[in-house]
């Protein structure tokens, strides 16, 4: 029977098994911040930019800040220099109605996001602005900067937030995403956190929001001590040129696991990705085996993705991998092992040899226009 025909008929309805810890609402002893107290909530978003635009992951952080701050008092902090920084500041000023101010730290030392430099900048800006919340994305930038900045400010950060119930009540995954816990931040200010960009809806830049731009201000760096910062220095950026979409933002992701057996076989997956206009991902086992570079790794220790379609070929479904893709809208799994854990979270599953399925899909799918 043709593999594609089998794929259409094999439907698995076992949805993502999340079990919530502390699902009950907070007690009356700890009321949420509402009414007159909400005016004291002010949020600083640490944003990344590239090519004159705020990155999509940082737009998600702005959306999360809007949930925290109902009073539309969100400040976006951008660092760098030159024309790209000015264009990114203009984009940030109009990307969301909750953005009330854009702070621009214009300095050559901030062009590359070194953790030590940015942590000192956050500490510097916080002492000037006294923000109640500091938010960034749970990616390499956020995981690098926020813990260092939190140490300088002597607070404990909350990481990997997937839902904001109240300004100081958050939900985050534990046990590699197999359970959710409710966390109340009871420390002194500021409340610092990283959010999963896949859990917050990206703000839409409509014509209405673009017509009202937030003011853009320069951070006064005259007293910012650059000389005490550089314990590390930027050398170079090495990246692979590809016409495929970025893995973190792609609508379709095709991922290969150890079942592909070699780097040469991954080229089959790349051909399929070209047909679908998809990004290519990999499991940690495939990365450790040297099949693909580690920037393609999806999982708890790799990238967290939530595309509209996620296709997994030869992926067993280890818990660490599921933590990075289980929020995908539709999951399709192809594996010759009928007992593979990946089938427990898949919407569509096919028990078949991937080396027969992939060539057939490549043959029958139309070329991407």
Q: What is the pLDDT of residues 68-85, one digit of tens each?
A: 987 778 999 999 999 999
Choose the weakest-confidence range: 9-23, 30-44, 159-173: 9-23
pLDDT at 204: 54
Q: What percent of the chain has pLDDT over 90?
A: 60
Closest Cα to residue 6, out of 241, 294, 344, 333? 333
Q: What is the CATH number of the domain that holds 213?
A: 3.40.50.620
Confidence label for 111 from pLDDT (cuts 50, 70 and 90):
confident
pLDDT score of 67 more than 70: yes
Domain stop point among 170, 199, 218: 218
Same-domain pairing of 307 and 185: no
In the predicted model, what is the mean pLDDT of the chain?
84
- pLDDT band (50, 70, 90) for residue 189: confident
Is 7 within the bounds of a domain? no
> Same structural domain for residues 284 and 359?
yes
Q: What is the pLDDT of residue 183?
A: 94
In a domain, 193, yes or no: yes
The strand pairing partners of 310, in sequence order, are: 253, 331
Q: Is residue 118 in a domain?
A: yes
| Token couple for 164 | 């904001």
Handedness of CA 282, 285, 290, 291 (dihedral sign): negative
Per-residue model confidence (pLDDT) at position 188: 84
Please tell me the predicted confidence (pLDDT) of residue 368: 67
The per-residue pLDDT for range 192-240, each reduced to its tens digit, is: 999 998 888 775 544 344 457 899 999 988 877 665 556 778 888 776 6
Based on the domain organization, do 187 and 96 belong to the same domain? yes
Structure confidence at residue 252 as a pLDDT band (50, 70, 90) = very high
DSSP code of 224?
Answer: -
pLDDT at 35 over 70: no
pLDDT over threshold 80, residue 120: yes
- What residues does 312 pair with on adjacent strands? 255, 333
Task: Indicate the annotated binding residues.
Answer: 258, 283-284, 297-301, 314-321, 335
**Confidence band of 21 (pLDDT split at 50, 70, 90):** very low
Identify the pLDDT of residue 231: 73
User: Among residues 264, 269, 249, 257, which one has the least CA distance to residue 336?
Assistant: 257
Query: Which of 202, 218, 234 corresponds to the end of one domain?
Result: 218
Predicted local distance difference test score (pLDDT) of residue 109:
86
Which has more confidence, 269 or 213?
A: 269
pLDDT cut 70: percent of the chain above it: 83
Residue 23 has pLDDT above 60, yes or no: no
pLDDT of residue 203: 54
What is the extent of the structural domain holding 279?
252-364
Amino acid 34: pLDDT: 36
CA 142 to chain CA centroid, Å, is 10
Instruction: Extract the tokens encoding 92.
Output: 């940030």
Length of the chain, in residues:
369
Half-sphere exposure of residue 7: CA atoms within 13 angstroms, side-chain side: 20
Asked whether residue 50 is domain-assigned, the answer is yes
CB-count burial class (<10 Å; 0-12, 13-18, 19+) for 249: middle
Q: Where are the alpha helices (DSSP H) in 255-336?
A: 263-276, 284-288, 319-322
Whether residue 330 has pLDDT greater than 50: yes
Please check whether residue 20 lies inside any domain of the structure: yes
Within-domain flag for 231 = no
Q: Above 90 in pLDDT, residue 300? A: no
Orientation of helix 140-153 relative to helix 115-129, angle to 10°: 50
pLDDT for the residue 229: 54
Please answer whether residues 203 and 96 qualify as being in contact, where contact means their C-beta atoms are separated by less than 8 angstroms: yes
Annotated binding site for FAD: 258, 283-284, 297-301, 314-321, 335
Same domain, 174 and 268: no
CATH of the domain at 288: 3.40.50.1220
Q: Which of 218, 233, 262 is the last residue of a domain?
A: 218
Domain match, 204 and 257 both: no
Q: Are residues 163 and 268 in the same domain?
A: no
C-alpha closest to that of 322 among 343, 339, 338? 343
Give the pair of three-digit tokens for residue 67.
């949930």
Q: Is 6 contained in some domain?
A: no
Q: What are phi and psi of 52, to 5 degrees?
A: 85, 10
The verdict on 185 and 266 lying in the same domain is no
Backbone angles phi, psi at 223, to 5 degrees: -105, 10
Sheet holding 19-20, edge to edge: 19-20, 179-184, 169-174, 163-166
190, 73: one domain: yes
pLDDT at position 60 over 80: yes
- Quick one: pLDDT at residue 351? 96
Which of 338, 357, 332 lies closest to 11 in space, CA to CA?
A: 332
C-alpha distances in Å from residue 58, one per residue of 53, 77, 107, 194, 293: 10, 11, 20, 11, 25
Specify the pLDDT at position 245.
83
What number is the average pLDDT over the span 248-268? 93
d(C-alpha 270, C-alpha 13), whole Å: 28
User: Looking at residues 144-151, what average pLDDT do you find?
Assistant: 94
| Residue 187 and residue 257 in one domain | no
Predicted pLDDT at 219: 92
Structural domain tally of the chain? 2
The CA dihedral of 64, 67, 70, 74, to the nearest 10 degrees, is: 0
Assess whether pLDDT exceeds 60 at residue 22: no
Phi (first) and psi of residue 17, to 5 degrees: -85, 90
Asked, for residue 223, whether it belongs to a domain, the answer is no
* Between 90 and 175, the higher pLDDT residue: 90
Same-domain pairing of 204 and 77: yes
Supply the pLDDT for residue 18. 34
CA distance to 45, 249, 310, per residue, from 66 (Å): 10, 21, 29
Query: Is 30 a residue whose pLDDT tops 90?
Result: no
Residues 122 and 211 in one domain: yes
Q: Check whether residue 169 and residue 314 sit in a common domain.
A: no
| Residues whose CB is less than 8 angstroms from the CB of residue 202 and which lie 6 or more positions away in sequence, other chains included | 56, 59, 60, 63
């Amino acid at each position: 029977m043709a593999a594609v025909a089998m794929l259409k008929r094999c439907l698995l309805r076992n949805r993502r098994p999340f079990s919530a810890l502390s699902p009950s609402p907070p007690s009356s002893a700890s009321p949420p911040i509402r009414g007159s107290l909400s005016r004291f909530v002010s949020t600083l978003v640490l944003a990344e930019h590239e090519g004159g635009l705020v990155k999509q992951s940082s737009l998600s952080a702005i959306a999360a800040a809007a949930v925290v701050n109902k009073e539309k008092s969100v400040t976006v902090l951008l660092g760098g220099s030159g024309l790209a920084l000015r264009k990114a500041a203009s984009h940030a000023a109009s990307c969301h109605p909750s953005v009330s101010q854009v702070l621009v730290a214009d300095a050559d030392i901030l062009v590359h996001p070194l953790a030590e430099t940015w942590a000192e900048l956050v500490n510097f800006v916080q002492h000037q602005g006294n923000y109640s919340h500091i938010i960034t994305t749970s990616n390499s930038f956020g995981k690098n900067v926020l813990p260092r900045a939190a140490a300088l400010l002597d607070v404990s950060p909350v990481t990997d937030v997937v839902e904001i119930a109240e300004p100081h009540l958050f939900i985050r995954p534990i046990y590699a995403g197999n359970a959710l816990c409710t966390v109340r931040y009871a420390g002194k200010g500021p409340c610092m956190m990283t959010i999963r960009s896949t859990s917050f809806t990206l703000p839409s830049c409509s014509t209405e929001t673009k017509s009202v731009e937030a003011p853009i201000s320069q951070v006064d760096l005259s007293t910012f001590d650059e000389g005490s910062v550089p314990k590390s220095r930027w050398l170079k950026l090495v990246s692979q040129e590809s016409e495929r979409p970025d893995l973190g933002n792609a609508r379709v992701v095709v991922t290969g696991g150890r079942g592909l057996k070699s780097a040469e076989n991954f080229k089959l997956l790349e051909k399929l990705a070209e047909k679908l206009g998809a990004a290519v991902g990999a499991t940690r086992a495939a990365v450790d085996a040297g099949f693909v570079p580690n920037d393609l790794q999806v999982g708890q220790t790799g990238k967290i993705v939530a595309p509209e379609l996620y296709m997994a070929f030869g992926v067993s479904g280890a818990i660490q991998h599921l933590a990075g893709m289980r929020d995908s809208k539709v999951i399709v799994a192809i594996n010759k092992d009928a007992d593979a854990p990946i089938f427990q979270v898949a919407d569509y599953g096919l028990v078949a040899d991937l080396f027969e399925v992939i060539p057939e899909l490549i043959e029958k799918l139309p070329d991407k226009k």
